[in-house]
Chain A
Amino acid sequence: MNGSLTFLSVAPEIALAAAVVLLLLVEVTFKPRAWAWAVVAGAGLAAGTALSAWQWVAHRGADTGTFWNGMIAVDGFAALAGLLVFPLAGLGLMSAWRLAASQGRRGAEFIALVLLAAAGAHLMAAAADFIMLFIGLEVFSLSLYVLAGFTRERVDADEASLKYFLLGAFASAVFLYGVALVFAATGSTTFYGDGGIADYLAGTVIFRPGVLLAGLALLLVGLAFKVSAAPFHVWAPDVYQGAPGGVTGFLAAAAKVAGFAALARVLTAVLGARADDWVPAVAVLAAASVVVGTLLAIVQDDVKRLLAYSSVAHAGFILTALVAGRGGVGDMWFYLATYAVQVLGAFTVAAAVSGDRAGRSPLAHWAGLGRRAPWLAAAMTLMLLAMAGIPLTAGFAGKVAVFRAAIDAGYLWLVIVAVLATVAGLFFYLRVIVAMYLASPEEGASLPASPAVGWGARFVLAVAAAATLVFGIAPWPLLEVLRDALPL
């Protein structure tokens, strides 16, 4: 392996970290206007994206490897994660820009946290060692905890942040304990190479299978918590509802991408040899998530909470792809990427409708939105239809892809459960659409002032709508490309 590649292997993280340091230094030294933050953050994210793109071009397929004593992997999987996470962070920043700019001098911290979260998320995807993975997880999670409670204007935002932190810390501890047990069973925390976990498990004799399985279970729990798969989803609705409207979209989208990236690598690449053990567990988690998420979403009267439960259901759909093991990773990426954009778009609309500092977004706020703000309503409709899986949106192509993957893996029952949940899910997505177009605002209801949409949010919605339509109408090029996004 080329020595000069060593630093290039973590170049995206370096770019992001440099941007964070620069941002904070510039902020302290010059106290500039908000556009200067945007320049620094944009440059950092652009550099991260470009470096990931370079990694994608040069190091997917055959030319992959690990660096830093086998702690960092450079492969299509990691590169794609960068290509997804960094632009997503950029969109998240644009969506939350008004919120950040309204925080005075603390706005720079807000932006720095988003950048750090993006770096952590990419590290989770690129880690080739459990210790590294855990560090990525911590950087990422801590940033999100702080972001969730950032505005500190409402008690429920504090509560959301605290709940997220306590339960999240607990989940991290569970994950760490799982790492310890896997280490005890295999004698390594490194994924690849001689003496790595994958190598050890490929051998015939497993010294302590019970310990390995217990470790695997705890790893699964820790990561299932991050992606809010049922029954480890309990935090998600409270946090999504409590967090300020402007941040929730990034919170929801990034958590899914980072969590699933880590989960996919750990399960399919590292523990691929034990697939017979974890595939049934993942299938059960997937079924529980789609059922619980869908059922609970039906009774919600708050759009942010509804989207939270729907995100639990979507975690289940994405897990459905992983049931197919390595063969489902491309389908997982497709669903994940399109869903991340959709959920960011949907929360962006919610922030515009109910205010980007507000936590709650009751359905009453949405009544008659089709007349008050036709473009917002149209964007939301598109996002909701895509999440519901209506044809010609990316959501449909994603659902077909993951269902197909699961059927090929022999999990027909899971697909039937998922299809039934999709049917029931129509109900709550349509409820929001009906409220927007067919309901009139109640007499005397205090609506938030006419939805204010900043340019950043408009751009986010335009991108989200375009991506949802383009990948809905022509999904095959992306599906084709994502076949290369496999872990080492």
Chain B
Amino acid sequence: MAIFPSTHATLGAPATAGRRALHLRAGRAVTLGLLLAAPFATAMVLLAVPGRARKTAAALALLPLVGFTAWAVASAGPLLSGGEITLALPWIPDLGVALDLRLDALGLLLALVATGIGSLVVVYSAAYLPAGIHLPRFMAYLVAFAGGMVGVAAADNLFGLFVFWEITTVASYLLIGFSDDKGSARAAALQAVLTTSAGGLAMLAGCVLLSRQAGTATLSAILAAPPSGAATTAALALILLGAFTKSAQVPFHGWLPAAMAAPTPASAYLHSATMVKAGVFLLARLHPGFGSDPIWAPVITTVGLATMVLGAWRALRQTDLKLLLAFGTVSQLGFMTALLGLGLVHAALAVLVGHALYKSALFLVVGTIDRTAGTRDLRVLSGLGRRLPGLLAVAAVAAASKAGLPPLLGWAAKEAAFAEILTVAAWPVVILTVAASALTAAYALRFVWGAFATKAMAPDARPLGAGVLPPAPGLWAPAALLAAASVVLGIAPGWVDRLVQAAAGVPGKLVLWPGWQPALAASGAAVALGAIIHLGRTRAAHLQAAGERLFRSLRFPTADGTYRRSLEGLNRLADATTGTLQHGSLPVYLGVILLATLGLPAAWWLAGGAGMPAPPLAHRPAEVALGLLAAAAAFGAARARHRLTAALFLGAAGYAVGGIFVLYGAPDLALTQLLVETLTVAMFAFVVARLPRRHEEARLPWWRALRVGVALAVGAVVTWAALAVGGGGGGEASAAYLEKAVPEAGGRNVVNVILTDFRALDTLGEITVLVVAAMGVAGLIAGARVASGREEDPR
């Protein structure tokens, strides 16, 4: 990644009270830093690998992922007992921004999921992506993403966390828009990145605020002594926005189904197993410090439950297998969020691990179906189970884990979750959870049925089956491994249990057989209900359609609609602002500038910041006459129809001002003024001869009135300022020069002495200004020739 000024490793010192301090070797910390830098370095190398070297690219991409997984498993022991690996990497120390790393059990859990599943996805991608696709670049994005995920898992500084968080967003964007020239893919990529980046920046604001409240940006220090109060709650709300958008929670979930435009391996990895878990992870990370904040439980639980039910409901209606899984992911993310809202960190993390394993397996299965059968529409697919029994077995195992059937990890996780929910939550929560689980079981069945069953086809459907060849090992082995992991870890959940318990920091129970308990009834009911829904699927579909019609008639805002409307609204607002502010018309621009100029002193005056004294109207009688003359001339210039008349009026106004200079004893100034005015009028006369004689008149009366109003307001303010200034005693400036002229400069003509001696540098500068102006004029004359030549030349 970068060369850091000092990478001193600190020994593990857990900040959270109650954890056993374990001193790890400093070497581990450095290894962690290197392993985190490795994916980014690999990504750089991969960008330089030519597109044909597919095997090299895959091998290169595997290296940092497998390396990290192996290292993490090897050093898991101390972490599981409460130890930590920390590494201080200062970045912008002034601002408290650092990339400090602190890997504990919670971070280990997410990092292991990211790198472990990442390795399998890399293997799968090499087999999946067609030859036309630039594989090394795909791998580069994938590996960089994995690095970002590990960074999120291990960051111990709010800003460092944000940096890695954004890296995952950018990688996701690149992957979603990777291979598609279609407008829809582009729009989807944009929607995904806009939603998650907007949330991310809200999170940045929250981080800034939180670090101010806490006095430090170090995450472990904040969690050890969390601040509280209204500002902290506001900061938390902003950070929650980031977590919710990332984890596709209602009402921000619209981007996740849209993101299915990504190549399927990327969907499996980012949009189900890892990236969307970052939000859930962040909630789990913050829970020890902020779980008791007033908004924590109500907001998070409500959002989670709504997401869970909505996602499951929508999943059951999908005909595209990938979209079905996407909505299923939304639903499961809602489940985890709701569990965290209730404070059930252990259960949430157990569900997270289980979901990562089975959902990525299912996604990979969909990719394989897509590749072998050429479609993933369950209305068209039929008889695939008979052709590909192996794939069916893999899918069935993963789907069973999703539905929560023993002896799979999904079952153990769900049992633990139900048991914990029943101890803390009220009945409505329990009922919603059971209902969503029933829907989950139903769409898991629908998935297997839709992908593999032999169905009575609609007459116009394209029958499949004959042309399907068995997929290459790279296309099924990773999914099979993931499914197998679901089985093994389901039968012997001890290791996962240790990891999840250490990560949650609270005891929990993840076992194959929990014994007869109320939770068993709940999950049994859910599975049974799911089976019933699936068996009565035609009727269920009718019911759902009716429900959705009803829902639509309520005109309740939907997530997609909200996203579209907010974009349109932004566009409209911007359009309207352009229309009013940016005509391209010089008078309008000048008017805007003038009004704003008046606005500043006016604001001060209204704020009472400064007394605006009423100045004396005049000091000498002759002044009144000259002032009135100047005003009359200015009025005449504004009213004149002919350009030359206007110029003459302007000259008269200038002469009047020159007269005032005379009154105040500045004959040299007055002389200069008179000469300049005369010369200007003469030049005007030359130029005006070549222009139309009359001004263009403003046609609209209100527009003229506005212009008159602005002009009068500016005139009034300037008049006030001139009068207020005029009251001062004269002679202050000249006295010093008169005194010094002869002794210091040896000149009796004070004006000359000032110009050539006291302020010689100014004079030199003014000469330079003239040089520039002369070059401009020369350019205009030369350009006039170019322009006339241009007109003659027909080209």
Contact = CB atoms under 8 A, between A and B. Distances in A.
B189 A438 contact: yes
B724 interface: yes
Interface string A143-155: 1011001101100
A112 B775 contact: yes
Nearest to A208: B724
B765 A423 contact: no
Contacts, number: 238
A217 B198 CA distance: 36
Interface string A407-430: 100001001100100111011001
Contacts of A404: 95, 208
A120 B205 CA distance: 39
B5 A217 contact: no
A296 B186 contact: no
Contact of B581 (A184, A217, A292, A438): A292
Contacts of A72: 761
A171 B601 contact: no
A208 B201 CA distance: 46
B96 to A, nearest CB: 8
Contacts of B783: 149, 152
A71 B728 CA distance: 25
Nearest to A162: B586
Contact of A209 (B181, B611, B717): B611
Interface string B766-778: 1011011101101
B721 A232 contact: no
A8 to B, nearest CB: 14
Contacts of A426: 193-194, 197-198, 201
A1 to B, nearest CB: 16
A295 B188 CA distance: 22
Given A211-B724, A234-B581, A391-B167, A166 B92 contact: no
Nearest to B93: A476
A112 B728 CA distance: 44
Nearest to A180: B725
A114 to B, nearest CB: 11
Contacts of A462: none
A56 B604 CA distance: 39
A135 interface: yes
A96 to B, nearest CB: 15
Interface string A389-402: 01110001100110
A407 B208 contact: yes
Interface in B767-795: 768-769, 771-773, 775-776, 778-780, 782-783, 786-787, 790
B94 interface: yes
B177 A153 contact: no
A69 interface: yes
Contact of A166 (B181, B582, B586, B600): B586
B609 A474 contact: no
Contacts of B610: 209-210, 212-213, 277
Contacts of B159: 400
A398 B745 CA distance: 50
A262 B590 CA distance: 23
Most chain A beta-carbon neighbours within 10 Å: one of B90, B162, B581:
B581
B97 interface: yes
Interface stretch (B357-365, B391-399, B568-576): B568-576
B204 interface: yes
Given A71-B761, A131-B762, A17 B768 contact: yes
A214 B769 contact: no
Interface string A168-179: 001100100100
A243 interface: no
Contacts of A277: 604, 609-610
A437 interface: yes
B772 A139 contact: yes
A434 B571 CA distance: 18
Contact of A210 (B177, B588, B612, B771): B612
Q: Provide the main secondary structure of the chain A interface.
A: helix
B415 interface: no
B473 to A, nearest CB: 33
Nearest to A71: B761
B600 A391 contact: no
A68 B95 contact: no
Q: Provide the main secondary structure of the chain B interface.
A: helix
B1 to A, nearest CB: 7
Interface stretch (B382-390, B480-488, B519-527, B591-599): B591-599
Interface residues of B, number: 95
Interface stretch (A218-226, A314-322, A347-355): A218-226
B607 to A, nearest CB: 8
B467 interface: no
A415 B208 CA distance: 10
A101 interface: no
B593 A221 contact: yes
A187 B730 CA distance: 11
Nearest to B182: A438
B135 interface: no
Contacts of A450: none
A434 B570 contact: no
A105 B609 CA distance: 56
Contacts of B717: 214
Given A167-B586, A403-B208, A474-B3, A106 B779 contact: yes
A351 to B, nearest CB: 20
A400 B92 contact: yes
A234 B589 contact: yes
A439 B186 contact: yes
Most chain A beta-carbon neighbours within 10 Å: one of B166, B173, B574:
B574
Given A69-B758, A113-B775, A427 B5 contact: no
B583 to A, nearest CB: 9
Contact of A434 (B167, B190, B592, B771): B190
B19 interface: no
Given A170-B590, A392-B163, A423-B198, A434 B170 contact: no
Contacts of B208: 403-404, 407, 415
A162 to B, nearest CB: 9
Nearest to A422: B201
30 contacts: A112-B775, A113-B772, A138-B766, A139-B772, A163-B589, A167-B586, A167-B590, A187-B732, A187-B733, A210-B610, A210-B611, A210-B612, A210-B724, A211-B725, A217-B604, A234-B581, A296-B581, A296-B582, A298-B570, A397-B92, A401-B92, A419-B201, A427-B194, A427-B567, A430-B194, A434-B177, A437-B177, A439-B186, A474-B3, A476-B91
Interface of A: 10, 17, 20, 68-69, 71-72, 106, 109, 112-113, 116, 119-120, 123, 131-132, 135-136, 138-139, 142-143, 145-146, 149-150, 152-153, 163, 166-167, 170-171, 174, 177, 180-181, 184, 187, 208-214, 217-218, 220-221, 225, 231-232, 234-235, 237-238, 277, 281, 284, 292, 295-296, 298-299, 390-392, 396-397, 400-401, 403-404, 407, 412, 415-416, 419, 422-424, 426-427, 430-431, 434, 437-440, 473-476, 479-480
9 closest pairs, A vs B, by CB?
A: A152-B783, A135-B765, A217-B600, A184-B725, A146-B776, A234-B589, A391-B163, A299-B574, A142-B772
Given A153-B786, A231-B581, A295-B570, 17 more contacts: A69-B758, A71-B759, A106-B782, A109-B778, A167-B593, A181-B721, A210-B613, A221-B596, A221-B600, A231-B593, A232-B596, A298-B570, A400-B97, A423-B198, A426-B193, A434-B186, A479-B94
